[in-house]
Amino acid sequence: MPAYSPPIYLRSGHLQTVYPTLFRRVKHQPCRRERIFTPDEDFLDLDWFSVKSQTLVVLSHGLEGDSRRPYMTGMVRALNAAQMDALAWNFRGCSGEINRQPILYHNGATYDLDTVVQHAAASGCYQRIFLLGFSMGGNLTLLYAGEQGERMHPLVKGAAAFSVPCELAHGSEAISHPACALYLKRFLRKLRGKVRAKMAQYPELLNDRGYHRIRNFQQFDDRYTAPLHKFASAEDYWNRCSCNRKLTQIRIPALLVNALDDPLLIRDCYPYALVRDNPWVTMETPRYGGHVGFMLPGESYWSEQRAVRFFHERQGYAGQRPG
């Protein structure tokens, strides 16, 4: 497939990042919402988009996203048009109703992705399942694939991930740059809503006093993510939950696409050496694309075309080592 080469007027990382978020509109496909329950008595809300295919793609959204974000619904539309079913799931607390347990979602919550995968596989409707993630959901997808390694469910035949902060410490550093101040402010504002919802459930556990003094993800993760999820600190959380720790252990065909002009990625978010050491993983670094962008003239995005092509090429994959 030709490399991503947008028109000149789309060759801006910030434009590619901002425009789809604020202005893209995708008509929602008919879906069936299902609530499933987790082993710790919490719940996950799943949106099924079926064209009665024997191939299913499980989609994981990004930070403070949900199953109805335009990048999710655009990908669903492309997958359905290519005769693949799609399952877009919502991380804990992201479906419009706060979750029950005294935790939220985070980059290392692969136990929830596993719950979704096992549930989909147990339906008996599919001959093959693929995984796909955006940004945080991409990190989760690749981390899960690496953790599973040789133990991956046999129906799972491949994974694709776009705009992935493969090294969370470096992703946090990138978004703290002054050029990304608006992105950071928006994320912190939305995350405060999650904190307040959880405060209402567990007032003895956390509060948002002085929240306005939080200036970066390190401060947020030190105060909330780490203690809620039993990490020693933000650095401990980032180190243990970066997909870079598991890339060399992936044993299904995997595609990682990170644009070089992505304003939210720097340095080890482009893990060239790790990918070279694992023939199962292909990394593409187009010059343009921004963060979860990859726009083209018209309604279709290049990332959607690339994912469909990758999954089509692997529909006959039977577990053999590549190359």
pLDDT at 3: 87
pLDDT in tens, 258-285: 999 999 999 999 999 999 999 999 999 9
In a domain, 1, yes or no: no
Residue 290 lies in a domain: yes
What is the count of structural domains for the chain? 1
Burial label for 320, CB within 10 Å (0-12, 13-18, 19+), is exposed
Q: How far is CA 309 from CA 23, 82, 160, 323, in A?
A: 26, 9, 11, 19
| pLDDT in 10s for each residue of the chain, 323 residues | 778 999 999 999 999 999 999 899 898 788 999 999 999 999 999 999 999 999 999 999 999 999 999 999 999 999 999 999 999 999 999 999 999 999 999 999 999 999 999 999 999 999 999 999 999 999 999 999 999 999 999 999 999 999 999 999 999 999 999 999 999 999 999 999 999 999 999 999 999 999 999 999 999 999 999 999 999 999 999 999 999 999 999 999 999 999 999 999 999 999 999 999 999 999 999 999 999 999 999 889 999 999 999 999 988 655 555 55
| Phi, psi (degrees; rounded to nearest 5) at 47 | -110, 120
283 occurs within a structural domain: yes
In a domain, 15, yes or no: yes
Q: Which two tokens stand for residue 173?
A: 């550093």
The tokens of 72 are what?
């999710």
Alpha helices in the chain (DSSP H): 13-23, 70-81, 110-122, 136-148, 168-175, 181-201, 217-220, 226-228, 234-241, 272-276, 302-313
Domain-embedded: residue 256: yes
Q: Is residue 196 part of a domain?
A: no
Q: Which pLDDT value is given to residue 170?
A: 98
Here the tokens at position 61 are 């959204």
CATH number where 120 lies: 3.40.50.1820
Residue 318, in any domain of the structure: no
Domain that holds residue 262: 8-174+243-313
Domain assignment of residue 237, yes or no: no
